[in-house]
């Protein structure tokens, strides 16, 4: 999933390498046949696809925890950690560290989600030793020097200020706040204008010490490296981390029950509407039925919402909804934007289509078309080494079997029209939690003058 509050991170990648990365391709059938479950001599486990067609290595990895491990009252710690891990590590200050990355066209990035702290590495095969060593330094000995901390802090605060006049950011922030209240999922992932200035280096070091540990580490690697060498690299990179994480327990939570509607005033011409409600967890046996029927409602340019909102009425340029599943909850979330004086019409059409599919379900034709799309879309998810590594990590995080790539299409084909109807009723039978950000209805026809609501 994608959040409007993105972590600040610096990425070193030359144009030549970017072009080269896009050429690394592996067919889905080849990937499925060649996924290895590798365990390094030191016990680091990885899903691994060896591919020597292009001299590149792509690695994705994650630790459990994410922004849910931010201290209560201090959201934004994980985000700042992600921004600062490569800003000076080991015996290198920030400038020297990035010069090393730039010189070898190595790409490192770090980003937290609600449940995980994730990272990625991209490197040419011949630079693998230096790339993995730089990652080791970033994870095990980050500096958090005062000048770097304040520079990154100011970037985060600047982004938060911009979000106070960004209707999409405000809508998504309010949606999650209403859906989850005081639960960690209800906190802004990038922090707030009140919390970020008060985050200390001690907070960040404590987060690193508690979260970045081997027992929750999951790794996926695709590229031009043999298993023995990869095992050695994994041990050198992750072997110095603590054996066990010290995570604060996070409770399972259900999103607030719909129907509910909230309005956030913002004097801008375009109104943004975020809508959603309780979803289906990934481990639920009815998950695939929900995935298929959700595509029918709001999954693309052939969806019901797109057809009714954009094509028939021209109310919005885009409209979509998607399933979102996490470790402790699940929901569906949709979004659209429209002219201020057409917001009520747009909401009415969305609500009508949601009621209709909940009551009637999809047609057999819609079901078959959705299945065809979802099966074909896997090809796009596996057409490069980077995409394949990301997909494999997603499957690991979802606790799916190593041969899931081979089994996925069969699970889609198994969804019947009755399954789809039941899933539609379960997802949308209660209605919607809707957040509207824009001008009040009585002001919709007046010239806009931006006012900034408080984002906290």
> Is 5 within the bounds of a domain?
no
Asked whether the predicted pLDDT for residue 82 surpasses 50, the reply is yes
> Is 171 within the bounds of a domain?
yes
> Is 450 within the bounds of a domain?
no
pLDDT at 383: 82
Q: Residues 400-412: what's their mean pLDDT?
A: 95
Same domain, 293 and 220: no
Choose the final residue of a domain: 238, 269, 304.
238
Q: Residues 188-193: what's their mean pLDDT?
A: 96
Question: Residue 295: beta bridge partners?
Answer: none
Cβ atoms of residues 261 and 276 within 8 Å: no
Helices (H), 164-226: 167-180, 201-211
Per-residue pLDDT reduced to its tens digit, 326-349: 999 999 999 999 999 999 999 999
CATH of the domain at 212: 3.30.830.10
Same domain, 213 and 83: yes
pLDDT at 342: 95
Q: Where residue 378 falls among pLDDT bands split at 50, 70, 90?
A: confident
> In sequence order, what are the residues at sequence separation of 6 or more whose Cβ sits closer than 8 angstroms to the Cβ of residue 156?
8, 76, 79, 80, 83, 190, 191, 196
Q: How far apart are CA 411 and CA 284, in angstroms?
A: 13
Q: Residues 395-415: what's their mean pLDDT?
A: 96
The encoded tokens of residue 32 equal 């499925």
Same domain, 186 and 329: no
Give the count of domains, the chain: 2
Same domain, 277 and 189: no
Same domain, 264 and 234: no
Q: Where residue 42 falls among pLDDT bands split at 50, 70, 90?
A: very high
Report the b/e string of 342-362 with b at 16+ CB within 10 A. bbeebbebbbebbeebbeebb
Cβ atoms of residues 238 and 143 within 8 Å: no
Which residue in 448, 447, 438, 450 sits closest to 342, CA to CA?
A: 438
Same domain, 436 and 395: yes
> Is 255 within the bounds of a domain?
no
Same domain, 224 and 272: no
Cβ atoms of residues 438 and 270 within 8 Å: yes
> In sequence order, what are the residues at sequence separation of 6 or more whose Cβ sits closer than 8 angstroms to the Cβ of residue 431?
258, 259, 277, 351, 354, 355
Matching residue, tokens 């095969």: 125
Same domain, 234 and 113: yes
pLDDT at 33: 54
pLDDT at 379: 77
Which residue in 105, 109, 153, 155 sits closest to 127, CA to CA?
A: 105
Reported in sequence order, the residue ranges of 21-88 that DSSP labels E, i.e. its strands, are 36-39, 45-50, 56-64
> Is 249 within the bounds of a domain?
no
Choose the final residue of a domain: 238, 271, 306.
238
Q: Where residue 28 falls among pLDDT bands split at 50, 70, 90?
A: very low
Cβ atoms of residues 17 and 11 within 8 Å: no
Q: Residues 433-439: what's their mean pLDDT?
A: 97
Q: Residues 60-67: what's their mean pLDDT?
A: 97
Asked whether the predicted pLDDT for residue 450 surpasses 80, the reply is no
> Is 248 within the bounds of a domain?
no
Same domain, 85 and 170: yes
Q: How far apart are CA 135 and CA 70, in angstroms?
A: 23
Per-residue pLDDT reduced to its tens digit, 253-282: 999 999 999 999 999 999 999 999 999 999
Tally DSSP H helices, then E strands, for the chain.
Answer: 16, 11
Same domain, 192 and 266: no
Q: What is the dihedral of CA 129, 58, 47, 50, to 10 degrees?
A: -80
pLDDT at 284: 97
Burial of 206 (0-12, 13-18, 19+ CB in 10 A): middle
Q: Residues 366-386: what's their mean pLDDT?
A: 90
Q: Residues 5-17: what's their mean pLDDT?
A: 32
> In sequence order, what are the residues at sequence separation of 6 or more whose Cβ sits closer than 8 angstroms to the Cβ of residue 207?
69, 70, 77, 78, 81
Asked whether the predicted pLDDT for residue 32 surpasses 70, the reply is no
Burial of 315 (0-12, 13-18, 19+ CB in 10 A): buried
Per-residue pLDDT reduced to its tens digit, 104-152: 999 999 999 999 999 999 999 999 999 999 999 999 999 999 999 999 9
Same domain, 26 and 94: yes
Q: How far apart are CA 181 and CA 199, in angstroms?
A: 22
Burial of 402 (0-12, 13-18, 19+ CB in 10 A): middle
Compare 29 and 48 and report the one with higher pLDDT.
48
pTM for the model: 0.88
Q: Where residue 19 falls among pLDDT bands split at 50, 70, 90?
A: very low
Q: Domain containing 188: what range?
A: 15-238
> Is 243 within the bounds of a domain?
no
Residue 284 C-alpha from the chain's centroid? 20
Q: How far apart are CA 233 and CA 61, in angstroms?
A: 14
Per-residue pLDDT reduced to its tens digit, 91-105: 999 999 999 999 999
Q: Where residue 285 falls among pLDDT bands split at 50, 70, 90?
A: very high
Asked whether the predicted pLDDT for residue 324 surpasses 80, the reply is yes
pLDDT at 300: 85
Same domain, 300 and 374: yes
Q: What is the mean pLDDT of the chain?
A: 90
> Is 245 within the bounds of a domain?
no
Choose the final residue of a domain: 238, 271, 304.
238
């Amino acid at each position: 999933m994608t959040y409007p509050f993105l972590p600040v991170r610096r990425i070193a990648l030359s144009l030549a390498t970017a072009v080269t990365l896009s050429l690394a391709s592996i067919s889905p059938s080849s990937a499925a046949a060649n996924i290895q479950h590798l365990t390094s001599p030191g016990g680091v486990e990885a899903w691994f696809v060896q591919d020597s067609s292009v001299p590149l290595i792509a690695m994705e990895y994650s630790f459990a925890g994410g922004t849910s491990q931010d201290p209560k009252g201090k959201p934004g710690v994980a985000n700042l950690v992600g921004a600062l891990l490569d800003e000076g590590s080991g015996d290198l200050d920030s400038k020297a560290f990035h010069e090393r990355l730039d010189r070898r066209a190595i790409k490192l990035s770090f980003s937290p989600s609600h449940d995980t702290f994730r990272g990625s590495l991209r490197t040419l095969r011949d630079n693998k030793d230096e790339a993995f060593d730089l990652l080791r330094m970033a994870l095990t000995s980050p500096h958090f020097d005062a000048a770097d901390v304040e520079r990154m802090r100011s970037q985060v605060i600047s982004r938060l200020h911009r979000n106070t006049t960004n209707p999409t950011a405000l809508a998504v922030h309010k949606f999650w706040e209403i859906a989850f209240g005081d639960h960690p999922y209800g906190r802004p992932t990038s922090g707030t204008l009140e919390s970020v200035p008060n985050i200390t280096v001690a907070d960040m070091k404590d987060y690193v010490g508690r979260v970045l540990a081997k027992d929750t580490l999951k790794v996926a690697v695709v590229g031009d490296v043999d298993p023995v060498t990869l095992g050695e690299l994994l041990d050198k990179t992750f072997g110095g981390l603590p054996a066990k994480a010290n995570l604060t327990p996070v409770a399972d939570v259900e999103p607030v029950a719909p129907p509910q509607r909230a309005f956030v005033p913002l004097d801008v011409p375009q109104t943004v509407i975020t809508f959603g409600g309780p979803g289906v967890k990934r481990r639920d046996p009815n998950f695939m039925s929900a995935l298929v029927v959700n595509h029918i409602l709001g999954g693309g340019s052939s969806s019901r919402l797109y057809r009714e909102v954009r094509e028939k009425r021209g109310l919005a340029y885009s409209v979509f909804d998607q399933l979102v599943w996490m470790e402790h909850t699940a929901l569906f979330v949709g979004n659209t934007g429209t002219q201020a004086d057409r917001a009520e019409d747009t909401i009415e059409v969305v609500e009508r289509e949601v009621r209709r599919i909940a009551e009637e379900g999809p047609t057999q034709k819609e079901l078959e078309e959705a299945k065809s799309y979802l099966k074909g879309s896997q090809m796009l998810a596996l057409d490069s080494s980077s995409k394949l590594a990301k997909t494999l990590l997603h499957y690991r995080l979802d606790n799916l079997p190593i041969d899931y790539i081979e089994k996925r299409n069969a699970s889609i084909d198994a969804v019947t029209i009755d399954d789809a109807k039941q899933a539609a009723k379960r997802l949308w039978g209660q209605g919607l939690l809707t957040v509207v950000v824009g001008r009040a209805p009585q002001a919709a026809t007046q010239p806009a003058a931006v006012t900034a609501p408080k984002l906290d």
